[in-house]
Structure 1
Amino acid sequence: MATAMASASWADLLSGRNGVRSVALAGGTALHAVNIYVVTTIMPSIVRDIGGLAYYAWNTMVFVVASIIGATLAAALAGRLGGKGAYLLGLAVFSVGALVCAAAPSMPWLLAGRSLQGLGGGVLVSLAYVLIRQVFEPALWSRAMGLVSAMWGIATLSGPAIGGVFAQLGEWRWAFWSLLPAVAVLGAIVLAWLPSAPAGGERAAVPGGRLALLALSVLAVSMASLAASRALQCLGIGISLALAALIVRADRHAQVRLLPTGSYAPSRLRSLYLVMALLVIGSTVEIFVPYFLQTILGHEPLEAGYLTAVMAAGWSFGSMLSAGRDRAFGARCIRFGPLLMAVALALLAWQLQRPAAAAQGIGFGALCVFLACVGLGIGMAWPHLLTRLLEAAPAEEGALASSSISTVQLYAMSLGAAVAGWVANAAGLSEPGGVPGARAAALWLLGGFAPLAALGLPVARRAAPARA
């Protein structure tokens, strides 16, 4: 086996039948990822056309919550329908969502379409990892997973370009239509090359009750962002916290768990999850950055899209920079990541209050640096957080620990989007709106998330102590 692993090459993965199957599995992830950056870039154009600025963050929130549900259902669908059937179902749901978004006359219709896109996309992303073990030899698993992960980097470059071009032309609806040819090509490849047999003999169980509670907990925060009175806002936050407590209580004693044993008790495992969640929540300010850049600084949609991608590029660069380094370096990255993100968010909030200076020259360069450092903070810590998490989890729950990474990341992302929408609306994003509302929202959102990221500092010291 060791000899086979060593002899496997990229040519083995990307040629012949393996090559076509690689396109199918990586293509589903690429479709999902590109869609995220396309919509992030065109959202300012969408709200100018159909309204719904108060629901700006809901676009990401409903998409990510639906993605969690889709990702959780993927293994069960593969067991029932086979890899081919599950993949085609995911593509069909995603396509219906894209059609609804393209024809949406108002924000509620757009959110319905985004929910369908998230549900189908979540199935596609999770199926990529489920089916790798079914369609490739073990010697190719590592490279296949690397290829799938690389699709997020491609999305960082291509998504803002696609969305920005359609936004510049004033045709944001065509950004959704443009995804359908890619769906058709993927569907044809899947029909011809993916196996039809069910993936594994037993049907995977789905923790449906806890998934419903998870979705409701995020929805409660989002509803609070629309409430006019502080009392109703506090009620929404309280309901969200109560539902989160119910999820923890139910998961402790469940047969099919969301997180490994020991995740809820004081432990290094819990500290690692908390650092991951705080860093992901801090990064969700990304969804408002294109709007701030266009409204406050006057950037064109294409420029704003690529400036937003600088944050994602910082994550990718930080991961490549720190991955593979020794444990001492990794521990420093984990402890330094929350600090770097907190400082970068605070400086970004300050810079956006100086539109004349931030739009050109040294100020523009500083803006790019601050955006990159937000992503760099999480990127440098991320590979070491995941490595330590897999080490800290019980040996017999390795598969659960691996799947829990996506669960925690997506839940933190959806919760962060909901909280970001609440803060932005409370600060005046939609009322009074315009440039004053955007500047106030930028100050409170970025400035408020900075101390939130800083909360990860003491937790990170417990997760990665200086001396093991």
Structure 2
Amino acid sequence: MTSDVGLRSARGRILLAMMVSMALIAIDATILATAVPSIVRDLGSFSSFPWLFSIYMLASAVTVPVYSKLADTIGRKPLLLIGITLFLLGSVLAGLAWSMPVLIIARTVQGLGAGAIAPMSMTVIGDIYTLEERARVQGYLASVWAIASVVGPTLGGLFAQFGFWRGIFWVNIPLGLAAAWLLVRNFHESIEKRRHRIDYAGAATLTGAMTLLMLGVLEGGHAWAWNSPASLLVLGLGAALLVAFVFIELRAAEPVIPLGLLRRRIVSSTTLLGLGVGMGLAGLTAFIPTYLEIGTGASPIVAGLALATFTIGWPLAAATAGRLYLRWGFRTTATLGGVIVVVGATVLAFLGHSPSIVSVAVVCFFIGMGFGYAAVPSLVAVQSSVDWNERGVVTGTNVFARSLGQALGAAVLGAIANAIIANLGGDVHDPHVMIAASTAVFAGVAVIAVGILASALAMPRKVELVGIAGESAVAN
């Protein structure tokens, strides 16, 4: 690259590739929730539907640290292509699913792909743009989520309304192929190859621990009593594996989650914030469409569009967050986001017993803005605090926390909803029952929002900026 114009053009093409890659998971974030009632009618087992979200997020979360470690050793591009391939494979299997277990397996494969796409896309942006430029680039990334927030629920609602929910997975095929082509054509890396040791023991132990803990939470009080031997065994094994994971990471040469990083205040605080954002996100995206469809009789399209205001508010906040954190600082901007989320989630919980499409849409818009102001500054802050060779790991840790939060949020809040539904007779098509269950979920989101605010306040007031953007990625 010999000129500023050429450099801008090269980075522009890479940015486009990242935007299309992110579009895959952005659309997936809202398109499925609108079709849940239709899927349950065809495949049955409403009590299993939280697994469609939890298993996807779990598969995504536990692979993020592995992908992130590899990204700092073999580069970002190969992992992005692997992620897109897995995501498309899972989409094909989901489109052909003939039972709920098969659909859950397909969602697992999709999650394995998403675990590479999300952190790698964000890491590449951190590689090729400076701190000041990222404030502008956030607007471009925000446009992906803004478009997806409308396209996703609309497509999901249309497919569900016309009895073809499988179409929500088939739409991924052309988008994924386009993303892969753009990456192969435009993104070229120059990195120093070095030997690496993958912490397979840590990854396997973490996967086992989180699977067992989510199984215990989702099935406890439903498939077995909370105080039954089965419940105690599953939860106990999960907790034991989690403890074992910590010891493995402390001794691993190249741990999937470098626990030493968490000693840095900027890393630990933003990781906790990401965990809270993921949990809150899971509760809203998984339950709001079904809450409105059953509670108000809204069509899948209308329910989806009400949720879309949330995913419009987020990118709008992301687009302006850069200006705020450059002027006020990362901590202040993230704290503003936390305050907005607390207020919005509390209002949503109070309004839960009186479902209204308009009120839900308005509140979701403001909650989305709060998430945007909280999540973007925290991610940029932690990326800007390290050099290239650690950027993949810290970005992956942040994305891992968010994905893990979504998995835990779907599991815990889903368990709360299932328990209330069971206590009220088990009829998931009864408006009273679904309103009561959803209101409890919204109250849980309000509690989680307090944790998000506390994490934002725990961020350091000043962040030491390290590294120069563009060290490793060039384009032809």
Of the candidates 429, 444, 465, which is equivalent to residue 448 of structure 1?
Answer: 444
| Distance in 2, Cα, partners of 1:86 & 1:271 | 27
- Asked whether the equivalents of residues 71 and 392 of structure 2 are also in contact (C-alpha less than 8 Å), the reply is no
| Distance in 1, Cα, partners of 2:93 & 2:210 | 23
Q: Deviations over 1:75-124 (max 9, x none)?
A: 78889999887655544433331222112121101011111122233334
Once the two structures are TM-superposed, the CA of residue 350 in structure 1 deviates from its matched residue by 2.4
| Distance in 1, Cα, partners of 2:126 & 2:327 | 29
Of the candidates 401, 418, 421, which is equivalent to residue 408 of structure 1?
Answer: 401
Give the gaps of 5 or more residues in structure 2.
465-476
| Distance in 1, Cα, partners of 2:249 & 2:460 | 26
Structure 1 letter corresponding to 2:286 = I
- Asked whether the equivalents of residues 221 and 419 of structure 1 are also in contact (C-alpha less than 8 Å), the reply is no
* 1:226-265 alignment, distance < 5 Å: 226-227=219-220, 228-232=224-228, 236-237=234-235, 239-259=237-257, 262-265=260-263
| Distance in 1, Cα, partners of 2:68 & 2:455 | 33
Give the gaps of 5 or more residues in structure 1.
none
SS at match of 2:323: coil
* Cα-Cα RMSD: 4.0
In the superposition, the TM-score normalised over structure 1's length comes to 0.81
Once the two structures are TM-superposed, the CA of residue 292 in structure 1 deviates from its matched residue by 0.8
* 1:388-467 alignment, distance < 5 Å: 388-390=381-383, 397-428=390-421, 431-434=426-429, 435-464=431-460
| Distance in 2, Cα, partners of 1:385 & 1:266 | 14
Counterpart residue number, 1:293:
292
| Distance in 2, Cα, partners of 1:167 & 1:256 | 45
SS at match of 1:215: helix
- Asked whether the equivalents of residues 277 and 408 of structure 1 are also in contact (C-alpha less than 8 Å), the reply is yes
Structure 2 letter corresponding to 1:254 = A
Of the candidates 34, 53, 61, which is equivalent to residue 46 of structure 2?
Answer: 53
- Asked whether the equivalents of residues 156 and 312 of structure 1 are also in contact (C-alpha less than 8 Å), the reply is yes
Once the two structures are TM-superposed, the CA of residue 172 in structure 1 deviates from its matched residue by 0.6
* 1:190-229 alignment, distance < 5 Å: 200-202=192-194, 204-224=196-216, 225-227=218-220, 228-229=224-225
- Asked whether the equivalents of residues 42 and 163 of structure 1 are also in contact (C-alpha less than 8 Å), the reply is yes
Matched, 1:280 2:265: no
Of the candidates 94, 97, 101, which is equivalent to residue 101 of structure 1?
Answer: 94
- Asked whether the equivalents of residues 281 and 415 of structure 1 are also in contact (C-alpha less than 8 Å), the reply is yes
- Asked whether the equivalents of residues 334 and 464 of structure 1 are also in contact (C-alpha less than 8 Å), the reply is no
In the superposition, the TM-score normalised over structure 2's length comes to 0.79
> Using a 3 Å threshold, how does the CA distance of structure 1 residues 407 and 86 change in structure 2: closer, same or farther?
closer
| Distance in 1, Cα, partners of 2:407 & 2:288 | 17
| Distance in 2, Cα, partners of 1:268 & 1:76 | 19
Identity across matched positions, percent: 24
- Asked whether the equivalents of residues 296 and 439 of structure 1 are also in contact (C-alpha less than 8 Å), the reply is yes
* 1:26-37 alignment, distance < 5 Å: 26-37=19-30
Number of aligned pairs?
450
Once the two structures are TM-superposed, the CA of residue 296 in structure 1 deviates from its matched residue by 0.8
Of the candidates 166, 171, 178, which is equivalent to residue 171 of structure 2?
Answer: 178
Structure 1 letter corresponding to 2:408 = L
Structure 2 letter corresponding to 1:295 = I
Structure 1 letter corresponding to 2:426 = E
Once the two structures are TM-superposed, the CA of residue 426 in structure 1 deviates from its matched residue by 1.6
| Distance in 1, Cα, partners of 2:68 & 2:448 | 34
Structure 2 letter corresponding to 1:444 = A
- Asked whether the equivalents of residues 28 and 152 of structure 2 are also in contact (C-alpha less than 8 Å), the reply is yes
SS at match of 1:229: coil
Counterpart residue number, 2:471:
none
| Distance in 2, Cα, partners of 1:335 & 1:218 | 29
Matched, 1:337 2:337: yes
Q: Deviations over 1:137-167 (max 9, x none)?
A: 99xx968897567533332232112212211
